[in-house]
Amino acid sequence: METIKLTIDNRQVEVPKGTTILQAAHQAGINIPSLCYMNLPYLAQEHKPGSCRVCVVEIPGRKNLVPACATECTDEMKVLSHSLRAINARRTVVELLLSDHPKDCLICPSSGNCELQKLSITMGIREINSVENAAMSTYRKDASPALNRNMDKCVMCRSCETVCNEIQTVGALSAVNRGFMSVVAPAFEQELTDSPCTFCGQCVAVCPTGALTAVDNTFHVIRALADPNKYVVVQTAPAVRAALGEEFGYPPGNSVTGKMVAALRSIGFDQVYDTDFAADLTIMEEGTELLDRLSRFLDGDKNVRLPILTSCCPAWVNFFETNYPDMLDVPSTARSPQQMFGAIAKTYMAEKLGIKREDMVVVSVMPCLAKKYECQRDEFKVDGNPDVDYAITTRELAHLIKIGNIDFNTLKEEDFDRPMGESTGAGLIFGVTGGVIEAATRTAYELFTGKKLEKVDFHELRGMEGIRTASVNFDGTYIHIGIAHTLGNARKLLDGIRKGMYNFHAIEIMACPGGCIGGGGQPLHRGNSIVLKARMDAIYKEDFNKPIRKSHENPEIIKLYEEFLGKPLSEKSHKLLHTHYFSHPKK
Amino acid sequence: MYKMQLLVCSGTGCRASASATIVEKLNESLKAHQLTEEAQVVTTGCFGFCEKGPIVKVIPDNTFYTQVKPEDAEEIVTEHILKGRKVSRLLYEDPENKEHIIDSKHMGFYQKQMRIALRNCGVIDPENIDEYIVRDGYSALAQVVTDLTPEQAIDMVKQSGLRGRGGAGFPTGLKWEITSKFSSDQKYVVCNADEGDPGAFMDRSILEGDPNSIIEAMAICGYCIGATKGLVYIRAEYPLAIKRLEIAIGQAREYGLLGNNIFGSKFSFDMELRYGAGAFVCGEETALIASMEGKRGEPRVKPPFPAESGYMHKPTNVNNVETFANVPVIFLKGPEWYSAIGTEKSKGTKVFALAGKINNVGLIEVPMGITLREIIYEIGGGIKNGKNFKAVQTGGPSGGCLTEAHLDTPIDFDSLVAAGSMMGSGGMIVMDEDDCMVSIAKFYLEFIVEESCGKCTPCRIGNKRMLEILEKITQGKGSMEDLDHLRNLAYVIKDTSLCGLGQSSPNPVLSTLENFYDEYVAHVKDKRCFAKQCKAMAKYTINPDVCTGCTICARNCPVDAITGEKREPHFIHQEICTHCGVCYQKCKFNAINVE
């Protein structure tokens, strides 16, 4: 490989040709600050509009300062990252950003987690040189069921735009207006709810400031917990435990399941359950549906729609309802684990516990913003009472724990309540890309072949590649599987299916990078792939150590069918655990 | 063959003064006098002398009629065409000796001009390709595609020393050479006709007056760089230029000058128009390309330059209209001829749109190296109303203000930059003693703030902040500290902005700070505006010796700040006065003093 030698601040660096100054500096231990730059190597997406001008550096001899993020190193280049000229320019640029930014840091949802705030702290800015009452660019606030837009705080880094358009191909956000009033917004500055937004929340995950934030339900939960007439049960999604620790100082990749359970119990939830239980239930329903379609297909039934598509991810559901209204009969009709949980909790469990439906409050802790929207959908309500009352994010749970004055780090590990806290490794891996289909495969294999599955780990289905394909040998019958994470990759697969390019039997889709572990409700990943990979490893490790790793072997699931549902795809299952989809053509 | 031709300017300016009706009336009159076999009315492009438009020129005797009205048509026909007597009242009057001048070449306005890019403007009918061909049109293209290799042709452009007329002055031949070196299945030639500088209209005039020269040059460029497709990015606000280009493209296709195997060669080339919506920033080449692709018109970081990755990620050569207009002449007369004109590093001519407080407003083309004094006093005829010259603003919103001290500097790309301004697209606005330089800087910043695309921080927020400081200063609320902030902001914006627009946006501020610092200080320290333009600082008083007590000022004062008895001197109450200046405008006796 051709290399280039250059000097940055008197330090010699040798880098491969094509390296930017920012990367080279990083390699040399020089942290040039940046704001709009975002690198998503696992999605092959580098966002470097070179627009914030925070990373400008001086190259003696050149007329102007250059942005380190978007300037390639050349041989014998001399870079000054902290010359007076560079420092003054950088500081002035940050001052300019601050001059057009609300100063309500103390009560901002992103306080402590804001890249602009960090810049201001790092650079020691104590005053902003601009005229008194300098104009601010202000915009109408926009609220949706899942996320809020306060674009007064937008710094025009356009990361959200790149994520929404390039990675998710949703196309809900783009720059509008010109000059001082330019901002990122849905077309014609519509509200988000009138746009093709799927509420995937990836814009929130990459927003460096408090411009895009999640809807906060923490106080609703606190109020419900304080209500003596309410019986409050909580479910926690698989990806939450793999990231919650990060909010309490644990390095990424530390699963904190036991502490999380202890914290939830300490906060005062009446029952601490696991969404993984509902994930196992999903496998029973979806797996059976897959086998049913598959058997009919193999028997020559021409009316069977294959591949079957997973339906656990609510952003993905929104996406295909908006973009593929002609394919609504392709995805599985199985509800997501969150909604299956709610439906079972407010029927089977409520009955068992002797509690009236309206007195039970189901709270879900999710890595996801779209879940906040999903639980409000009309089809998941009975007489106006939702199966899941409040969905909160991993970040909100961290706040709840802090509000509850709980010292998370010294908590003793505890276990989930039964029966809805019993789960398998299959349910757990729902949190990562490829996990749902692997869980389904573990069960479908045994149901299809009637043989015991010896090798439980399907490594061919794992990884961070955007689109993965594999063929699994079901005792002579090969099942073709496709996996996509991010909606842009989902679109590629779906468009291929529409054109008849693929012969998949089953496809798993998750809207977020890496699956739910990279969800918009998680501690903000800001595109950091190392964090996502660590969370993924934590989930697989926990799965590996689980005593039961196949959904159909979950004893409480077996009992649920025996006592209540009958069998998968029964009439009761259809009523409680399946749904239908609606066409929302792109507006 | 006609014995006589009446050339009537039908550029946008003269058309606004009813030149289309003049054409109609002339034709009617010729018909009435049965002269339609003798004389022909030809609609041409712009003559440049817009101050004196509409222009009607009679050839072969080269009589140059100015400020012609539709009702003059009959007289021109009956007197000049029929009887051979010139209509002297329509002739240009020399401002010095008050004599009538018949032929335009004897007018001060034209004497120092040299028309290369504008060679056919005001000479031919732009809607008739034959007239272009008669003037050697398309013979440069014929020569290039049949006799020269692309390398040879590029060499000739390089030898000519032609530099881009869009503003930055990049060597055109070198640009072509770079683009030619990138191999690709498809390349593009783009003509930047997104003229946006306030007051500049040379590109429009060329397209309206000589559209075929652009088509020919683009085809030559296409041959040189290996492109078969040309695109003209033109603002939709130029309907006449669009119409004439479309006519010219249609005629060129009919004649086989566009299309496959041009002049029997292997070279094929065709072109299309793309309309801009009037965003100033789309004159920047990467923003222009983004806009052509249907994206938001905003620039991106270079490299890669368009020569490597431009329109649709294909190698693209972008040149300005005026640059292209020079190209055919280089082949017709030879690069040596061309490079003999101008200065050492800036060859050829430059078109300027002369405007402001100057007697001869219009479009001029002068050889590089001419001085500002020659342009302003000889071509421009000096300052209006005998006032004193104060400054000249060149290069539009990206340029700067030059002073008396720069009047004798030979102007070219580099000397203007050295003087703190730039060539820009060639806007030249002259200011006199009544202009406040702080207000001028503010005016240009208002334009920039309006036109910034908003992509990068310094341009988006920084220019807004500079404008706020200037507003504060012109309101008499500025401090010396503000001047420091202003200067720092200007330097940082220049140093850190993403594109040329932002990088040059502080030039009007910096050049006025440099050349007219005392005016800033007067605004800030003494709360005084020398030019009395900053109304907030003006103190209006009534001279009791002159005031007749007519009461008109008191009746018109919107805040009732003026009191007085009829026929007695009036008085302005300073604590109520809002400095609106209405009394000053209304007073018929010059009794209002402004300090």
Asked if the A229-276+338-410 domain carries CATH number 3.40.50.720, the reply is no
Predicted confidence at residue A326, as pLDDT, reads 87
Cα B335 off chain centre by: 26
CA nearest neighbour of B195 among B261, B256, B241: B241
Total length of chain B: 595
Query: Measured between alpha carbons, how far is A260 from A411 in angstroms, rounded to an integer?
Result: 9
Predicted confidence at residue A341, as pLDDT, reads 97
Using an 8 Å CB-CB cutoff, list chain A residues near B488.
Answer: 88, 92, 129
Across the strands, what pairs with B56?
B8, B65
Using an 8 Å CB-CB cutoff, list chain B residues near A65.
Answer: 495-496
Closest partner CB to B456 (pick from A53, A85, A131): A53
Predicted confidence at residue A585, as pLDDT, reads 65
Instruction: Please give the share of chain B, as a percent, with pLDDT higher than 90.
Output: 83
Predicted confidence at residue B240, as pLDDT, reads 94
Q: What residue segments make up the domains of chain A, in order of their start?
A: 3-99, 142-214, 229-276+338-410, 283-335+422-577
The model's pLDDT over B35-85, given as tens digits with 9 standing for 90+, comes to 999 899 999 999 999 989 899 999 888 999 999 999 999 999 999 998 889
Alpha carbon distances (Å) from A554 to A238, A281, A345, A449: 16, 9, 17, 19
Query: Measured between alpha carbons, how far is A346 from A359 in angstroms, rounded to an integer?
Result: 9
Is residue A142 pLDDT above 90, yes or no?
yes
Alpha carbon distances (Å) from A355 to A312, A345, A346, A359, A383: 28, 10, 9, 7, 17
Helices (H), B321-375: 321-333, 335-339, 372-373
Query: Measured between alpha carbons, how far is A202 from A212 in angstroms, rounded to an integer?
Result: 10
Q: Quick check: is A332 catalytic? A: yes
Q: What phi and psi values does residue A469 have, to the nearest 5 degrees? A: -130, 150
The model's pLDDT over B432-471, given as tens digits with 9 standing for 90+, comes to 999 999 999 999 999 999 999 999 999 999 999 999 999 9
Q: Quick check: is A556 catalytic? A: no
Q: Which residues contact B491 (CB under 8 A, 6 or more apart)?
A: B506, B510
Is residue A212 pLDDT above 90, yes or no?
yes
Q: What is the DSSP string of A171-196?
A: ---EEES-GGG-EEESGGG--GGGTT
Query: Measured between alpha carbons, how far is B206 from A365 in angstroms, rounded to an integer?
Result: 67
Chain A: residue whose CA lies nearest to B478:
A131
Q: Quick check: is A132 catalytic? A: no
The model's pLDDT over A70-115, given as tens digits with 9 standing for 90+, comes to 999 999 999 999 999 999 999 999 999 999 999 999 999 999 999 9
CA nearest neighbour of B390 among B439, B351, B350: B439
3-state secondary structure of B159: helix
List the domains of chain B with CATH numbers.
4-107 (3.40.30.10), 129-338 (3.40.50.11540), 349-432 (3.10.20.600), 437-526 (1.20.1440.230), 538-594 (3.30.70.20)
Using an 8 Å CB-CB cutoff, list chain A residues near B482.
Answer: 131
CB contact under 8 A, A178 and B452: yes
Q: A520 to chain B, minimum CA–CA distance in Å?
A: 26
Show the tokens assigned to A543: 């799965």
Q: Quick check: is A516 catalytic? A: yes
Using an 8 Å CB-CB cutoff, list chain A residues near B454.
Answer: 156, 175, 177-182
CB contact under 8 A, B498 and A89: no
Alpha carbon distances (Å) from B380 to B48, B96, B198, B372, B423: 12, 13, 19, 10, 18
Q: Which of the residues in chain B have pLDDT under 50?
A: none
Triad A567, A568, A571: Cα angle to 5°: 80
Q: A93 to chain B, minimum CA–CA distance in Å?
A: 6
Q: What ipTM was estimated for this complex?
A: 0.92
Q: Catalytic one among A332, A336, A423, A573?
A: A332
Closest partner CB to A96 (pick from B450, B465, B472): B465
Chain A: residue whose CA lies nearest to B502:
A179
CB contact under 8 A, A178 and B454: yes
Q: Quick check: is A286 catalytic? A: yes
Query: Measured between alpha carbons, how far is B295 from A192 in angstroms, rounded to an integer?
Result: 21
Alpha carbon distances (Å) from A580 to A328, A336, B106: 8, 12, 86
Q: B395 to chain A, minimum CA–CA distance in Å?
A: 19
Query: Measured between alpha carbons, how far is B89 from B87 in angstroms, rounded to an integer?
Result: 6
Q: Catalytic one among A58, A286, A396, A438?
A: A286
CB contact under 8 A, A65 and B495: yes
Predicted confidence at residue A40, as pLDDT, reads 84
Closest partner CB to B464 (pick from A51, A135, A174): A135
CA nearest neighbour of B186 among B10, B93, B289, B309: B309
Instruction: Please give the share of chain A, as a percent, with pLDDT higher than 90.
Output: 88
From the options 3.30.70.20, 1.20.20.10, 3.30.2130.10, 3.40.50.300, give the CATH code of A142-214.
3.30.70.20
User: Which numeric CATH code is attached to A283-335+422-577?
Assistant: 3.40.950.10
Cβ distance A577 to A340 under 8 Å? Answer: yes
Using an 8 Å CB-CB cutoff, list chain A residues near B463.
Answer: 179
Predicted confidence at residue B422, as pLDDT, reads 87
CB contact under 8 A, B469 and A131: yes
Cβ distance A343 to A188 under 8 Å? Answer: no
Cβ distance A131 to B469 under 8 Å? Answer: yes
Cβ distance A433 to A485 under 8 Å? Answer: yes
Look up residue B526 and give its amino acid: D
Chain A: residue whose CA lies nearest to B473:
A131
**Whether A244 contacts chain B with CB within 8 A:** no
Same topology for domains A142-214 and A283-335+422-577, yes or no?
A: no
Cβ contacts below 8 Å, chain A against chain B, sum to: 113
Using an 8 Å CB-CB cutoff, list chain B residues near A18.
Answer: none
3-state secondary structure of B181: helix
Using an 8 Å CB-CB cutoff, list chain A residues near B303.
Answer: 72
CB contact under 8 A, A93 and B472: no
Q: CA gyration radius for chain A?
A: 25
Predicted confidence at residue A586, as pLDDT, reads 53
DSSP state, B55? P
Chain B: residue whose CA lies nearest to A56:
B496
Chain B: residue whose CA lies nearest to A48:
B301
Question: What confidence category does residue A384 fall into, taking pLDDT thresholds of 50, 70 and 90?
Answer: very high
Q: A148 to chain B, minimum CA–CA distance in Å?
A: 23
Using an 8 Å CB-CB cutoff, list chain A residues near B296.
Answer: 174-175
CB contact under 8 A, B495 and A85: yes
The model's pLDDT over A26-50, given as tens digits with 9 standing for 90+, comes to 999 999 999 999 988 878 889 999 9
Query: Measured between alpha carbons, how far is A54 from B149 in angstroms, rounded to an integer?
Result: 47
Closest partner CB to B460 (pick from A65, A174, A182): A182
Beta-sheet pairing, B229-235 with B270-276: parallel
Cβ distance B583 to B592 under 8 Å? Answer: yes
**Whether A54 contacts chain B with CB within 8 A:** yes
Burial class (CB in 10 A: 0-12, 13-18, 19+), B360: buried
Using an 8 Å CB-CB cutoff, list chain B residues near A131.
Answer: 465, 468-469, 472, 482
Most A CBs within 10 A among B461, B489, B493, hence the mutation to make, goes to B461
Q: Quick check: is A72 catalytic? A: no
Give residue ranges of B with CB < 8 Å to any A CB. Answer: 279, 296, 298, 300-301, 303, 449-458, 460-465, 468-469, 472, 482, 485, 488-489, 492, 494-498, 503
Mean pLDDT to the nearest integer, A218-239: 97
Cα B517 off chain centre by: 28
Q: B524 to chain A, minimum CA–CA distance in Å?
A: 14
Chain B: residue whose CA lies nearest to A181:
B454
Chain A: residue whose CA lies nearest to B503:
A64
What is A3-99's CATH topology? Ubiquitin-like (UB roll) (3.10.20)
Show the tokens assigned to A162: 């790149």
CA nearest neighbour of B285 among B495, B499, B497, B449: B499
